[in-house]
Amino acid sequence: MLRRTTLSLTLTGAMLLTPSYATASADAGPMSEGRPQRIGGAVAMGLGAALMIPMGLEITEYDQATAEMKRFNTRAVAADRRFTPEEFSAVEDAYERSHRMQALAISTGVAGGVLAVGGLALYLVGVRRTPDRAMAARQVRASPTFTAKLVGFSISARF
């Protein structure tokens, strides 16, 4: 007997994710062939997508530091003068910050991309190893959710 696990995430108007788990049978048999790869692949893809958030923040910080350097440079060029010691120190700090953020953005972007692509490959290997009857039992559903205080939608996946 295969064990069926249902994972349900509810996204409400207050933007809260509320996970709930349900298990169809308590006496689970052996895990279906390909299921560990599908689960591992989905987790890796999720981690890869999650790494895109800090990458975006680092790119934003890089842009701010670059804009700060340009602002100091524009002021100095408009006044036809060199940087003052305070301006030079601020430009030097912005330069170091921009290079640090650029390196972090590249590293998190590469790590996130590798995890996402590797997770997709692992998921597809698991799908190929899964018997057809097990694939037919898998389902993903989305439905609206209404309560007295919240309105949203619920996504359920069975794997």
The predicted-structure confidence for 82-141, as pLDDT tens digits, reads as follows: 888 999 999 999 999 999 999 999 999 999 999 999 998 888 888 888 776 555 555 666
Q: In what order do the strands lie in the sheet with 139-146?
A: 17-23, 5-11, 151-158, 139-146
Give the integer Cα–Cα distance in Å for 113 and 32: 28
**Residue, of 21 and 113, whose pLDDT is higher:** 113
Burial 124-135 (b: 16+ CB within 10 A, else e): eebeeebeeebe
Domain containing 42 equals 33-130
Residues 70 and 124 in one domain: yes
**For residues 100 and 150, which has the higher predicted lDDT (pLDDT)?**
100
Same domain for 150 and 89 = no
Identify whether residues 93 and 79 lie together within a single domain: yes
Indicate the number of domains in the chain.
2
Same domain assignment for residues 38 and 24:
no
The answer, yes or no, to whether residue 43 has pLDDT greater than 60, is yes
Quick one: 139 and 108 in the same domain?
Answer: no
Same domain as 120, residue 44: yes
Lowest mean pLDDT among 22-26, 65-69, 153-157: 22-26
Structure token digits, residue 155: 């996504």
pLDDT at 1: 45
Q: Are residues 46 and 116 in the same domain?
A: yes
Q: For residue 158, is pLDDT > 80? A: no
Q: Do 23 and 75 belong to one domain?
A: no
Residue 115 sits in the same domain as residue 58 = yes
| pLDDT greater at residue 63 or residue 1 | 63
Q: Which of 42-46, 147-151, 155-159 has the highest mean pLDDT?
A: 42-46
Query: Does the structure show a pLDDT above 60 at 29?
Result: no
158 and 21 in contact (C-beta within 8 Å)? no
Is 13 or 41 the better-scoring residue by pLDDT?
Answer: 41
Q: Judge whether 64 and 131 are in contact, CB under 8 Å.
A: no
**103 shares a domain with 48:** yes
pLDDT at 145: 76
Residue range 69-81: mean pLDDT, rounded:
91
Q: What is the pLDDT of residue 86?
A: 92
